[in-house]
Chain A
Amino acid sequence: MKFSIDWLKEFVPVPLKVLELSHRLTMQGLEVEHIEGEGEKAVFTLGITPNRGDCLSLLGLAREVSALQGKPLVLKPKIPPKGQTPIKNFLKVSIPDRKGCPRYMARVVQGVRIGPSPDWMQKRLASVGLKAINNVVDCTNYVMWELGQPLHAFDYRFLKEGRIVVRPEPRPFKFVTLDGVERACLPSDLFICDGEGPVALAGIMGGANSEVRDDTETVVLEAAYFDPKRIHATSKRLQLTSESSRRFERGVDPNNTANALHRLTALIVETAGGTPSQDWTDIYPKKSVPRKMMLSPGEVKRILGVSLSPKEIKKTLSLLGLNGSIPTFRPDISRAIDLVEEVARLHGYDKIPETLPKIGMNLPIQPREAFAKEITAETLTGLGYTECCHLSFTSPKKTVPFTRSLTPRENHEESGSSWVTLSNPLSEEHTILRPVLISSLLDALAFNQHRQRKDIRFFELKKIFCEGKEPLHLGMAATGEEWPQQWGLKPKKIDLFSIKGALSQLARALRLDGLGFEQESFDFLVPTASCSVLFQGEKIGWMGLIDSAVLKSWEIEGDVFAAEIDWEPLSLGSESVALRYKPLSKYPFIERDIALVVDNSLTVQKTEQSIWAMDNGWIKKVQLFDLFKGENLPRDKKSLAFNIRYASFERTLTNEEVNEAHQRLITHLEREIGAILRK
């Protein structure tokens, strides 16, 4: 809402300097967003909160400005201008929809001369951002700005049968508003109709069929009060907001209608000539009256924490015209708490002393997964993964490559049916909520690669949206070198085992026994380097090398290793772990290295299982420290070298005992897995 100081002064004396007025308005809840110009000509832009429809007028602002100077506003009532012909000779008004239109006033002015409005009016309208159109329309806007009452002028020629009927259309209906746009209207919308049909979308915008033109001679002036909810619903649905609808939906004063009509009539006669009708129509069967409302000083103290005397409270409220009853220009005040706010506002929030509450001791609780979340984030950052935060939105295009093989359904075409779609997305890129994190992580990798970053490691621990749930997922993606290029350390490329290692370390940090990894193919992963991730036997996600075809659509170069798991089972598992200490051994251990040549197809996991299987309780640790193929080994063989630690909790083992046990192990492995000891 814009206003200029000189215009405001027509309603209330303003002795304050511009900056002082600005500060006091802001501190009274009418935030000054912007000031243009200086002194009398200064134009203020106010951010009016939606509850204060009354402040969308100079009249309402004058009340506030008067109150902040310690005086209630005094107004002279408008005297209706005199006229000639009785209104009934022109117009017959009926209101079948009484709920939608509690009050309707109309007056006719004959013999107007349409032309530009006077300079002073055009300047004022321009200063507050209103476009000058012609003298009659400008007058309606001018008075609306002054008094907050939206007004409309019809060309009498186009009102068929000289009738005005306020009613909805029984069927959906296309109506062309005066901005030339065709609007799809519904039976819930309220219209001003003539003898045939709609001529205006009530309270929002006039119709193109009845607007004032250059050759208009007789105008019908409308001042009405419409149901705010109806106006809002229609305006919102049609996405059609006007200065008129803005005021009606916030609530105008139904008892200010006559004042506005008289002011408008006088102003039109002054600027466009013509003769008003002798009288006017005013259909107002159920008059709104000020409601009684009391506020006890105890309530003020209870809410604000400051003691104000009954006299102070009464005086403060009277500054706004709140004298034991609530005037109809303040529809926002509906219960005692609203009056408490008015007291606080005028008393000044800054005058209420700061205190700290006295509360009983209590133990704050945190979400159950908060601890595991923190461990996860700290562990992964410690391992070189940077935390991401992406928008929850994505597109089907970016999602399809991943959800196809993750959706348990047979029919891939239907994989999208579990997605959460937005009915009003901002763009084609943001039409659904993420059912996976990996697509965002690839976005992030691409973004950085395109800015000359090569070594990148990201993780994200965030909600995904799928089938009515919002589970937390952990996504990881990495590409490039394991560590920065440096002296004294050989370069190493990130591979599948970088991710696997990080996941395993994470499990360790969460006090979990570990994760399972089982060879499995997914459409978006290279089949020879892809697996599912398991926790306590349940599949919780996947890990692998992203297929180059997928990377191509992201324009990512090089190998990208990634994983995405349902994180909540880890969190739950971690919570249930009761950490118990294991006694320390008093006795030394003995280590033996063993190099085995086995079939290429035999997994390390199986080999290790076989080593543990012959355990007589002495094997405490099995550590793979070398793996190689080729050289003088047969093509289908590989060499695995393990370090094996023997110890007993009862006594010190002798070299001979361990040698014997180790020999038995070798024999066992030769027999069980066909291993050949490599000399």
Chain B
Amino acid sequence: MNKEELLAKIESLRTEANGALAALDSLVSLQEFKVRFLGKKGLLTDILKSLSLLGPEERPIVGEAANRAKTEIESRLESLRKNLDQKERSRLQSQKQVDVSLPGLKLPRGFRHPLSLVEKEIESIFVNMGFSVFEGPDIESDYYNFEALNFPADHPAREMQDTFYIGPRTMDQGQRTQEKVHGPWSMVHGPLLLRTHTSPVQIRTMEKQKPPIYMICPGAVYRHDDDVTHSPMFHQVEGLMVDRHLTFGDLKGVLTLFCQTIFGKKLKTRFRPSFFPFVEPGAEVDISCVLCAGKGCRVCGGDGWLEILGAGMVHPAVLEQVKIDPKKFTGFAFGMGVERIAMLKYGIDDIRLFYQSDMRFLEQF
């Protein structure tokens, strides 16, 4: 074959290929086309094989024409492939079309109790400040609940905390016999009762450990009381710091830092004198109302302040009781109601909601 024939053949091949390309409508036919025209045994390859029959001057001319034809076909083929690819993806995608407004998969989930959440928050604040966490029994002796905490016997200070006693039912409240009931519970330390505060844990800790002591004790406490704001059982976190050189100023600093951490930096605290037998000077700590920011509202009773903590410097009689020298060591103690804090934090107005397990309530936390 000579040069002219070959060039004509290339030209006719180009025309034929272009015609065939226009008819391609699937990736399969595209592949067939590619084999037929450009494959190892394809038509264009045939032509290129005949190049060797030409003279050295003619070869580049025909070669170039063949290559041009090849590039042209390849580029058309590629754009067609992209086109078909795109069509195919769209077809597949249209099959997977979803309504994204459909609800997602709902696996069941439970909720932590609000008191757990608040107690955890309180604990973590104090632990971060360096306080350890200790616990103690709910059933306590008179000694740990009252006597060691400087509650004088036969003094009305004890009635600040109405007490549940352990023992058989008696008609006459004054006559309590406790011979049998308690089994292993120790009766060495006076009559058994449900602790009215977690302060006994302070005593138990100080009996075992010498200062410095930085501790909190969370737990359930019990008082003979039941209405919208009082539950016969509630939860407290008490704290105690005993070391050299601790002052009332430190008490104020630590508790203000705590209140601002749990209720917000802008909050103000107010310390005013109060009385708890195991501390002196004793204080009641108020925070500026979380609802009205101190302007006065229904929650704070109009004066802008909310009672939140009891506190004070550890009474020297308490330190003496656990053989810590009150001349060398000072300390402060504080106590707060977890329910009270949760109620203020979440705006809960009935304490009984905590213990009823109403799902409508619990699933809000």
Known contacts A305-B248, A381-B111; A337 and B316 CB within 8 A of each other: yes
Residues of B within 8 A of A467 (CB): 183-184
Q: A364, A377, A421, A488: which contacts B181 (Cβ < 8 A)?
A: A421
**How many residue pairs bridge A and B at CB < 8 Å?**
279
Q: Which residue of A lies closest to B305 (CB)?
A: A26
Q: Is the CB of B359 within 8 A of A453?
A: yes
Asked if A577 is at the interface of the complex by the 8 Å CB criterion, the answer is no
Q: Tell me the bound Cα distance from A558 to B243 in angstroms.
A: 59
Contact B107 A384 (CB under 8 A): yes
Q: Is A655 an interface residue (CB 8 A)?
A: no
A residues 420-469 touching B (CB-CB < 8 Å): 420-426, 430-431, 433, 443-444, 447-448, 451, 453, 455-459, 463, 465, 467-469
| Closest partner residue, chain A, to B247 (CB atom) | A305
Q: Is A355 an interface residue (CB 8 A)?
A: yes
How many whole Å from A265's CB to the nearest CB in chain B? 30
Output the nearest chain A residue to B235 by Cβ-Cβ distance.
Answer: A389
Q: B132 touching A304 by the CB < 8 A rule?
A: no
For the complex, is B190 an interface residue (Cβ under 8 Å from A)? Answer: no
Task: Indicate which residue in A345, A356, A388, A489 contacts B281 across the interface (CB closer than 8 Å).
Answer: A345
Given contacts A345-B281, A362-B212, contact A426 B232 (CB under 8 A): yes
Contact indicator per residue, chain B 285-326, by CB within 8 Å of chain A (1) or not (0): 000000000000000000000000000010110000000000
Contact A229 B249 (CB under 8 A): no
Evaluate whether A344 and B281 lie within 8 angstroms (CB atoms) in the complex, with A232-B155, A380-B110 already known.
yes
Q: Are A352 and B252 interface neighbours, CB within 8 A?
A: yes
Once the chains are docked, how many angstroms separate the CA of A249 from the CA of B155? Answer: 7
Q: Which residues of B contact A366 (CB under 8 A)?
A: 127, 132-133
Is B354's CB under 8 angstroms from A389's CB?
yes
Known: A420-B181, A470-B139, A484-B106. A52 touches B358 (CB 8 A): no
Tell whether B108 is near chain A: CB-to-CB under 8 Å.
yes
Q: A377: which of B116, B174, B214 is its contact (CB, 8 Å)?
A: B116
Bound CA–CA A425/B226 (angstroms) = 11
Q: Are B212 and A249 in contact (CB under 8 A)?
A: no
A239 is an interface residue with CB less than 8 A from chain B: yes
Q: Are A49 and B275 in contact (CB under 8 A)?
A: yes
- Nearest A residue to B356 via CB reads A447
Is residue B160 contacting chain A, with contact meaning CB distance below 8 A?
yes
Measured as residues with beta carbon below 8 angstroms from the partner, the interface class of chain B is 35 or more
CB neighbours of B252 from chain A (8 A): 349, 352-355
- Chain B residues 94-144 with CB under 8 Å of chain A are 102-103, 105-113, 115-116, 127, 130-135, 137-139
Q: Which residue of A lies closest to B185 (CB)?
A: A468
Q: Is A27 an interface residue (CB 8 A)?
A: yes
A349-B357 in contact (CB<8A): no
Q: Which residue of A lies closest to B128 (CB)?
A: A364
Q: What residue in chain B is nearest A459 (Cβ atoms)?
A: B110
Contact partner of A465 among B112, B127, B138, B167, CB < 8 A? B138
Is A302 engaged at the interface, CB distance under 8 Å to the other chain? yes
CA distance A339 to B129 in the complex (A): 31
Knowing A354-B249, A364-B132, say if A425 contacts B110 (CB, 8 Å): no
Whether B139 pairs with A420 at a CB distance below 8 angstroms is yes
Looking across the interface, which residue of chain A has its beta carbon closest to that of B273? A29
Which of B103, B178, B272, B280 is within 8 Å of A340, CB to CB?
A: B280
> Is there an interface contact between A239 and B173, defined as CB atoms closer than 8 Å?
yes
CA distance A420 to B164 in the complex (A): 12
B322-357 residues with Cβ-Cβ distance < 8 A to A are 330, 354-357
Contact, CB under 8 Å: A303 / B330 = yes
Q: Is B69 an interface residue when CB atoms closer than 8 A count as contact?
A: no
A624 beta carbon closer than 8 Å to chain B = no
B64 within 8 A of A: no
Report A-chain residues with C-beta under 8 Å of the C-beta of B284.
31
CB-defined interface of B166-201 with A at 8 Å, one 1/0 digit per residue?
Answer: 111110111010100111110000000010000000
A237 to B159, CA, bound (A): 12
User: What's the tally of chain A residues with a CB closer than 8 Å to chain B?
Assistant: 103
Contact in complex: B133, A365 (CB < 8 Å): yes
Q: Using known A-B contacts A335-B316, A389-B115, A447-B358, determine if residue A483 contacts B107 with beta carbons closer than 8 Å.
A: yes
A523 at the interface (CB under 8 A from B): no
User: Smallest CB–CB gap between A583 and chain B, Å?
Assistant: 33
Known A229-B155, A365-B132, A424-B165; contact A385-B110, beta-carbon cutoff 8 A: yes
For window 15-62 of B, CB contacts with A under 8 Å fall at none
Which residues of chain B come closer than 8 Å to A420, judged between CB atoms? Answer: 139, 166, 181-182
Whether B249 pairs with A386 at a CB distance below 8 angstroms is no
B263 interface hit (Cβ, 8 Å): no
Chain B residue nearest to A34 in the complex (CB):
B301
Q: Is the CB of B226 within 8 A of A426?
A: yes
Q: Are B110 and A367 in contact (CB under 8 A)?
A: no
Q: Given the complex, which residues of B lie within 8 Å of A9, measured CB to CB?
A: none
Query: A249 near B116 (CB under 8 angstroms)?
Result: no
Question: Chain B contacts of A357 at CB under 8 A?
Answer: 241, 243, 245-246, 250, 253-254
Q: In chain A, residues 216-251, which have Cβ atoms closer than 8 Å to a Cβ of chain B? A: 228-230, 232-233, 236-239, 246, 249-250
Q: Which of A341, A349, A443, A483 contacts B280 (CB 8 A)?
A: A341
Whether A448 contacts B138 by the Cβ 8 Å rule is: no
Decide yes or no whether B11 CB sits under 8 A from chain A. Answer: no
Min CB distance A387 to B, Å, is: 4
- 1/0 contact string of A329-372 vs chain B (CB within 8 Å): 00000010110110011000110111111111110111100100
For residue B157, give the distance in angstroms from its CB to the closest CB of chain A: 5
Q: Counting chain B CB atoms within 10 Å of each CB, which of A229, A359, A362, A431 scores highest? A: A359
Q: Which residues of A contact B256 (CB under 8 A)?
A: 354
Q: Which of A469-505 contact B (CB under 8 A)?
A: 469-470, 482-484, 486-489
Interface flag for B154 (CB, 8 Å): yes
With A184-B172, A239-B173, A392-B233 known as contacts, the answer to whether A26 contacts B127 (CB < 8 A) is no
Q: In the complex, how many angstroms separate the beta carbon of B298 from the nearest chain A beta carbon?
A: 15
Q: Say if the beta carbon of B239 comes within 8 Å of chain A.
A: no
> A306 on the interface (CB 8 Å rule)?
yes
Chain A residues lying within 8 Å of B220, measured Cβ to Cβ, are 392, 463
A364–B165 CB distance below 8 A: no
CA distance A430 to B281 in the complex (A): 37
The residue among A28, A381, A423 with the most chain B CB atoms within 10 A of its own CB is A423
Chain B, Cβ-Cβ closest to A357: B250
Instruction: For the complex formed, measure the closest distance between the CB of B345 and the CB atoms of chain A, giving whole angstroms.
Output: 16
Enumerate chain B residues within 8 angstroms of A50, measured Cβ to Cβ. 155-157, 159-160, 275
Bound-complex Cα distance A362 to B209 (A): 14
Contact code string B224-252 (vs A, CB < 8 Å = 1, else 0): 10100001110000000101011111101
- Using Cβ atoms and an 8 Å threshold, which residues of chain B touch A377? 112, 116
Q: Are B254 and A344 in contact (CB under 8 A)?
A: no
Task: Name the distance in Å between B287's Cβ and chain A's nearest Cβ.
Answer: 14
Contacts A228-B155, A457-B108 hold; do A423 and B113 have CB atoms under 8 A apart?
no
Produce 1/0 per residue, A20-54, CB < 8 A to B: 00000011110100000000000000000111100
Closest to A390 in B: B355
Q: How far is the CA of A229 from the CA of B157 in the complex (A)?
A: 12
A589 CB → nearest B CB, Å: 29
Q: Is the CB of B359 within 8 A of A470?
A: no
Closest Cβ of chain A: how far from B154's Cβ, in Å? 4
A239 to B159 CA separation, bound complex (whole angstroms): 11
Given known contacts A364-B131, A393-B232, what 16 new A-B pairs fall within 8 Å (CB)?
Answer: A29-B275, A50-B155, A51-B275, A229-B154, A305-B247, A341-B280, A361-B130, A384-B107, A384-B108, A392-B233, A422-B167, A423-B173, A444-B356, A447-B356, A451-B358, A486-B105
Which B positions have Cβ atoms within 8 angstroms of A?
102-103, 105-113, 115-116, 127, 130-135, 137-139, 153-157, 159-160, 164-170, 172-174, 176, 178, 181-185, 194, 212, 214, 220, 222, 224, 226, 231-233, 241, 243, 245-250, 252-254, 256-257, 270-275, 277, 280-284, 313, 315-316, 330, 354-360, 362-363
Q: What are the 4 closest A-B residue pairs judged by CB atoms, nearest first?
A: A468-B184, A29-B273, A305-B247, A384-B108
Show 17 A/B contacts (Cβ-Cβ < 8 Å), sorted by A: A29-B273, A303-B247, A305-B249, A349-B273, A352-B248, A355-B250, A361-B130, A380-B110, A386-B111, A391-B233, A420-B181, A423-B166, A425-B169, A430-B232, A465-B138, A468-B184, A470-B137
